[in-house]
Amino acid sequence: MEKNNKVIQVEGLTKLFGDFAAVNAITFDVEKGEIFGFLGANGAGKTTAMKMLIGISNPTSGKAKVAGFDVFTQAEDIKKNIGYMSQKFALYDDLTVRENITFFGGIYGLSRKRIKEKSTVLINELGLEKVANTLVGALPLGWKQKLSFSVSLLHDPKIVFLDEPTGGVDPITRRQFWEMIYKAANQGITVFVTTHYMDEAEYCDRVSIMVNGKIEALDTPKKLKEQFNAKNMNDVFLKLARG
Amino acid sequence: MGISVNHISKSYKNVKALQDISFDVKPSELFGLIGPDGAGKTTLFRVLTTLLIANEGTATVAGFDVVTDYKKIRSNVGYMPGKFSLYQDLTVEENLHFFATIFGTTIEENYDLIKDIYVQIEPFKNRRAGKLSGGMKQKLALCCALIHKPKVLFLDEPTTGVDPVSRKEFWEMLKRLQQKDITILVSTPYMDEAALCDRIALIQEGQILEIDTPEAIVKHYPKQIYNVRANNMYQLIKSLNDYEYNHSVYPFGEFIHYTDKRKDFNPDQLLVFLKSNQLSNIEITETVATIEDTFMELAK
Amino acid sequence: MKRFIGFVKKEFYHIFRDKRSLFILFGMPIAQIMLFGFAITNEINNVDIAILDHSKDATTTEIINKISASKYFSIKQMVNSEADIASVFKKGQVKAVLTFEKEFSKNLIKDHKATVQIITDATDPNTANTISNYVNAILQKYQKELNKDLTITYQIVPKTRMVYNPELKGVYMFVPGVMTIILMLVSAMMTSISITREKELGTMEILLVSPIKPLQVIIGKVFPYIFLSVINAVVIVMLSIFIFNMPVQGSFILLGFESVLFIISALALGILISTISATQQTAMMISLMGLMLPVILLSGFIFPISSMPMPLQVISNIIPAKWFIIIVKGIMLKGVGLQIIWKETLILLGMTVFFIALSVKKYKIRLE
């Protein structure tokens, strides 16, 4: 597969809170269709960095283009071209599966007809026909997460940002979730995963590890494990964090 | 002493949270309850800490019945709930002092028990608990749960949401506590933490799948697992799922864990099949089962 | 006991570290009193009045001159007979009418006593009351001048009569009402919030799995608020005495005792609310809707109970605030003692005991 189309380009991106550099001149690129893992401990600056990339926080300095748009001047265009899913907020528990899909489709400006088509396809693909009119709150966590990922792809975004997507779900559902991610990537959607669960990192094409606002390592999981002489990403992280 | 659970069942409205759970935890054992969110771990903890009454079955903690002797249990166990449950607007020292007082003891009295952990957070003793990092909060919570020198310690998902460094340190602390004759029941959704326990129970949907030492559980895995990789992950998964002899196909980091239905499986046959599916750079190597593989096999 | 003290100490930390609750605790009473106080007692200026002078002698002329010289009143017209008074009021031309009795000077010299009647339009009770106060002040000043060089004292007796709203609700009435609202709010809402906060944070789980007894938790939660509410009550009474010159006729000790009783009943209600709500938000909603509204609407603070429809009158009986307002009004305004208000006190006491018993019974020793 050809991957020379950079959908995220970041150069010297910095965010200062007073004197404190939450994000300190980070530089990296993400290619089309790539699954990019953005790792770091709590407070390492990954959430701040991601907020800048999805256009909800203004960088202090540096350059960044997401889906071809500048984060300083074209934040609104960025928002139209990305999807976002977080474990904390995903769907409305008090709306049914179908209502959630319709609502989010509406938010992204999809036509009624398109929403109808999409809903049917999505519900069939996830095997949710029987629960289409059930409140989302009554579904198991794993189903909710899969549904919420699909919803974030409703408007055919170029990039989808996932914030700790699979924490806590059972191992089988989790793998089904990753199969969905692989499928999306195969269709050319770039998947940007922020997480501090190192085993999620193992599934990514490339990962970056942030420590104290800086990117301290960036490569494929395989190469990172070789470089740090570690048996898994958890050990890589431990070695990096402990210096 | 330790913990004994006999045929415990618990339902909420129409959800069966626990179904006929039985197991024993020996004195000063480090016992892990491994399962995803919603498996019933928290409900079981609440039954054992006397916060909930089971619909069926009995249980004893440190020799006391969880229903009739609940008062004795409450002064003899330490409990760290899943959510960080200390007073955010109190400082580190005030929190510790408060819990010591509640349990009718003082920090000085049991200082040797928490010393190892407390020295790490002591530099921040005048900081409000709400302003601590995740790892620090967790250490403080552990100190508070230990301050009255409990016989049994209940830790409900202590490492959820905590970074790998703090997780590692936390498990090291648990190992040291075990040396001090404290029985520890810990729950976690992370399969990789299972190996750090003496014995584990795998739990899913309110039922125990298996109880044994981590080594034995892995050994019981019935099949040879193969690591498979190729140039395109999505196509690879699709092809393997289409392969008529597959027993299980699970993405596992950069590989797929594959098992075959046949006893006399030859990887070369699979290689030919995958090649015929337009895959390249194919790698098939033997690998050993992990707890997670076992879990999935049992939960299937 | 050490456990209990430790618990209470912790509660004080919570209160003093939370700016929001501190504001509710101390900002609110002062703000409310000031608001009610100043909205009600305004300065008056050039109020139009009429005069009916039955004697038209030297003394009345002198008094009339003094009144017209003051900046507070301007004499709009002189009325000739009692019959005209009503029509003057109805036309809304004046706010008050002063009537000097017949033979005013003669009476003053003969009996050392003469009477002025002040009739005010009390549809606006605040102004009515202020007017009569100001007239009184002018009369008293005149009386002093009159008596300065004499051995006999002459007395001018003002007789105030309010038309249209003879009970004059409002003026001093707001203090008992505001005090009731604030004590209710602080006691019930703050305790229910502080208990549900522990549930929300998960600390309640830890407290339950500890040797501390339910009663210790309840009293530990409630104790700081008794203390703070008493301070609040004192602040409110002080403000009304020193800023609004509100008289306290009765015994301070009795007032204090009744206040503590009411505070405890409100606290018990707060605990009850916390047993049925899982989140701070629910607790706040129930406190506001379930306690504050009835206190404001049904306690007789704003709307007189006697003019309510029968069902509401019956319901008002189960509101502790109703009885407390009667008690406070009695003590502050009428100066009555326990021999008069023992019945109300007993009802309040009964309610308090009932609420405490219920909340201790309802307090859960487990999670469900």
Task: Give ipTM to 2 decimals.
Answer: 0.85
Structure confidence at residue C160 (pLDDT)? 65
Give me the domain span that covers residue A152. Answer: 32-55+79-242
Q: What is the pLDDT of residues B170-179, one digit of tens each?
A: 999 999 999 9
Check whether A89 has a pLDDT greater than 70: no
The amino acid at A7? V
- Higher model confidence: residue B281 or residue C124? B281
* pLDDT confidence tier of residue B144, bands split at 50, 70 and 90: very high
How close C290 comes to chain B (CA, Å)? 29
* pLDDT confidence tier of residue B14, bands split at 50, 70 and 90: confident
**Half-sphere exposure at residue B109, Cβ-oriented, CA atoms within 13 angstroms:** 13
If one counts every other C-beta atom within 10 angstroms of the C-beta of residue A87, the result is 18
B145, closest residue in chain C (CA to CA): C206
Distance of CA C50 to the CA centre of its chain: 32
Which of the residue ranges B24-33, B100-109, B213-222, C161-170 would you say has the lowest mean pLDDT?
C161-170
Which of the residue ranges A56-60, C6-10, C16-20 would you say has the lowest mean pLDDT?
C16-20
How many angstroms separate the CA atoms of B137 and B160, rounded?
12
* pLDDT confidence tier of residue C39, bands split at 50, 70 and 90: low
How many angstroms separate the CA atoms of A94 and A96, rounded?
7
Q: What is the pLDDT of residues A159-186, one digit of tens each?
A: 999 988 877 788 898 899 999 999 999 9
* pLDDT confidence tier of residue B192, bands split at 50, 70 and 90: confident
* pLDDT confidence tier of residue B285, bands split at 50, 70 and 90: very high
Fold of C47-163: abc type-2 transporter like fold (3.40.1710)
Contact C208 B51 (CB under 8 A): yes
A174, closest residue in chain B (CA to CA): B251
The amino acid at B300? K
Check whether C168 has a pLDDT greater than 50: no
Q: What is the residue extent of each domain of chain B?
A: 3-215, 225-299
Structure confidence at residue C292 (pLDDT)? 83
**What percent of chain A lies above the pLDDT cut of 90?**
64
Rounded average pLDDT over C2-12: 91
How many angstroms separate the CA atoms of C83 and C88, rounded?
9
Q: What is the dihedral of CA C183, C185, C187, C191, to 10 degrees?
A: -170
Beta strand pairing call for B199-204 and B30-34: parallel
Q: What is the pLDDT of residues C309-334, one digit of tens each?
A: 888 888 889 999 999 988 988 888 77
Question: H helices of C91-124, where?
Answer: 104-110
Check whether C43 has a pLDDT greater than 80: no
Residue ranges of A 51-90 with Cβ closer than 8 A to chain B:
none
How many angstroms separate the CA atoms of A209 and A214, rounded?
8
B165, closest residue in chain A (CA to CA): A238
Contact B85 C14 (CB under 8 A): no
B300, closest residue in chain A (CA to CA): A172
Structure confidence at residue A141 (pLDDT)? 81
Angle formed by the axes of helices C338-362 and C320-329, nearest 10°:
150
Q: What is the tally of structural domains in chain A?
A: 1
**Residues contacting A144, CB < 8 A, separation 6+:** A90, A91, A136
* Chain C contact present for B175, CB below 8 A: no
Rounded average pLDDT over C63-86: 83
Structure confidence at residue C169 (pLDDT)? 42
**Half-sphere exposure at residue A145, Cβ-oriented, CA atoms within 13 angstroms:** 26
Rounded average pLDDT over A175-199: 91
Rg over CA atoms, chain B: 23
- Higher model confidence: residue A90 or residue A27? A27
Structure confidence at residue A77 (pLDDT)? 92
Chain C positions contacting chain B at CB under 8 Å are 2-3, 5-7, 9-10, 13-14, 17-18, 201-203, 205-212, 365-368
How close C224 comes to chain B (CA, Å)? 16
| Cβ-based contacts of B85 with chain C (< 8 Å) | 201-203, 205-206
Name the CATH superfamily, with its identifier, for domain B3-215.
P-loop containing nucleotide triphosphate hydrolases (3.40.50.300)
How close B249 comes to chain C (CA, Å)? 40
B90, closest residue in chain C (CA to CA): C13
> What is this structure's pTM?
0.81
Q: What is the pLDDT of residues B22-46, one digit of tens each?
A: 999 999 999 999 998 889 999 999 9
Check whether C40 has a pLDDT greater than 70: no
In the complex, which subunits touch C with 3 or more CB pairs below 8 angstroms? B
Nearest-by-Cβ selection for A169 from B37, B237, B292: B37
**What percent of chain C lies above the pLDDT cut of 90?**
20
Write the secondary structure of B118-153 as one string of H (helix), E (strand) and C (coil). HHHHHHHCCCEHHHCCHHHHHHHHHHHHHCCCCCEE
Put residue B205 in one of left, alpha, beta given phi > 0 → left and psi -120 to 50 → alpha.
Answer: left
B258 contacts B291 by C-beta, under 8 angstroms: no
Structure confidence at residue C163 (pLDDT)? 53
**Residues contacting A94, CB < 8 A, separation 6+:** A135, A136, A137
* pLDDT confidence tier of residue C133, bands split at 50, 70 and 90: confident
How many angstroms separate the CA atoms of B163 and A43, rounded?
10
Rounded average pLDDT over B82-87: 87
Structure confidence at residue C132 (pLDDT)? 80
C311 contacts C203 by C-beta, under 8 angstroms: no
Residue appearing with tokens 């559902």? A173
- Does A36 reside within a domain? yes
* pLDDT confidence tier of residue C149, bands split at 50, 70 and 90: low
A234, closest residue in chain B (CA to CA): B164
Contact C210 B103 (CB under 8 A): yes
Q: To probe the interface with C, which of B72, B101, B137, B140 has the most C CB atoms within 10 Å?
A: B101
How many angstroms separate the CA atoms of B141 and A12, rounded?
39
Beta-carbon contacts below 8 Å between A and B: 91
Check whether C166 has a pLDDT greater than 60: no
Closest by CA to C188, choosing from C257, C290, C301, is: C290
How many angstroms separate the CA atoms of C144 and C141, rounded?
5
CATH at residue A105: 3.40.50.300
Q: What is the pLDDT of residues A66-85, one digit of tens each?
A: 999 999 999 999 988 999 98
Question: H helices of chain C, where?
Answer: 2-17, 19-22, 28-40, 58-69, 82-90, 104-110, 125-147, 174-184, 190-201, 203-208, 214-242, 252-276, 280-286, 293-298, 310-316, 320-329, 338-362
How many angstroms separate the CA atoms of A51 and A60, rounded?
13
Rounded average pLDDT over A149-153: 92
Rounded average pLDDT over B103-108: 92
**What percent of chain C lies above the pLDDT cut of 70?**
89
Q: What are phi and psi of B172, to 5 degrees?
A: -65, -40
Which of the residue ranges A108-122, B215-229, C56-70 would you say has the lowest mean pLDDT?
C56-70
Check whether B87 has a pLDDT greater than 90: yes
Structure confidence at residue C151 (pLDDT)? 62
Structure confidence at residue C164 (pLDDT)? 47
Structure confidence at residue A165 (pLDDT)? 82
Report whether CATH 3.30.70 matches the domain B225-299. Answer: yes
* pLDDT confidence tier of residue C165, bands split at 50, 70 and 90: very low
How many angstroms separate the CA atoms of C182 and B12, rounded?
41
| Cβ-based contacts of A202 with chain B (< 8 Å) | 252-254
DSSP E strand boundaries for B142-288: 152-155, 183-188, 199-204, 207-212, 225-229, 246-252, 255-260, 283-287
